[in-house]
Amino acid sequence: MMPDRVHVLIASPLEADLAARIDAVDPRVTVLYEPELLPRPRYPADHTGVPREMSAGQLARWSRLRRQADVSFDFDWLDPARMPENCPRLRWVQATSAGVGAFMERAGLADSQLVVTTAAGVHGVPLAEFTLLGLLYFAKKMPTLASWKAARHWQRHASGEFAGTRVLVVGLGGVGRQVARLLAAAGAIVTGVGRPGRRYEVPGVSEVVTTDRLDAALPAADALVLACPLTSRTRGLIGAREIALLPRGAVLVNVSRGAVVDEAALEQAVASGHLGGACLDVFTAEPLSATSPLWGLENVIISPHSAATVTGENARITDIFCDNLRRWLDGQPLRNTYDRAEGY
């Protein structure tokens, strides 16, 4: 039975007006929001921030807030792994990330009884825009133009054309669907890659193949876009063998997780010229080491895991949370519930 009063802890940096929106969802809701106890955000929608130097009194206040929480907006910035102990009343956490499987494993929360919902659907459009940017960047020979500009060199040339590009999109969830829609609208011929035994109807996708047929689909792809969650099935999905199956000059875009692709094999393929380029938002280890060869490759776009972060992100996550909070109060199923068995 739902209690008369539901205490919602804001556990990571959030704007005051968005905290007020959460508080206004229902008279039964009390928001526990003390921004002076939260890390200082470095940029809009920074869910990590810079931790403050907390006095003993402030730490005690944060401890009291955690003990009151029935619901948490994001994981505890101070000690996420011990949320089941530090938040004894806690039943549900609304994450600010779409992919939480790896985090749940690292934090030791994968086997906890907490209900976790994700921000799936929030990041699809910006990641699709980043994907299109990367593919256009290489189609229009921007690395060459940048080098010519630096050398003040004028030379007429012929560039490629994105329309008609054959793109293989791995992962047909919220991100993959937005990627497929935008690329198809720009003239690409999109083939989607999904899991065996599932039915997919995705706007913009001309054909769907399953992961067990990935090898057969790779040789026909001008570009490979990774938009799948990181699970035991997708870890290391694209290695040296799969990259070798792509035609020479193909472009790889990764807006998934770094561990989906063998980074060393990717580096070698770009350096050798087998891959025409790579557009990367995620890496095996983050931050990317200053010694990584990827930094020195002109045909590699490096984004510091920020392609999904836009100024309106927190408002969109708050939209999902407010809808879920109403569902929670009314005893209805929640959106974007994390599936422990599937890992996303």
pLDDT reported for residue 343: 82
pTM: 0.93
pLDDT reported for residue 293: 97
pLDDT reported for residue 341: 83
User: Is the per-residue pLDDT at 213 higher than 70?
Assistant: yes
CA pair distance 223, 179, nearest whole angstrom? 13
In sequence order, the β-bridge partners of residue 189 are 166
Give 5-32 pLDDT, tens digit per residue.
999 999 999 999 999 999 999 999 999 9
Q: Which CATH number fits domain 6-121+310-330: 3.40.50.10420, 3.40.309.10, 1.10.10.60, 3.40.50.720?
A: 3.40.50.720
pLDDT reported for residue 222: 98
CATH code of 124-302, in short, is 3.40.50.720
Catalytic site positions? 257, 286, 305
Domain boundary assignment for the chain: 6-121+310-330, 124-302
Give 55-97 pLDDT, tens digit per residue.
999 999 999 999 999 999 999 999 999 999 999 999 999 999 9
| Angle CA 136–184–305, to nearest 5 | 55
Residue 2's pLDDT band, with cuts at 50, 70 and 90, is low
User: Is the per-residue pLDDT at 302 higher than 90?
Assistant: yes
Give 151-164 pLDDT, tens digit per residue.
999 999 999 999 99
Task: Note whether 6-121+310-330 and 124-302 share their fold.
Answer: yes
pLDDT reported for residue 99: 86
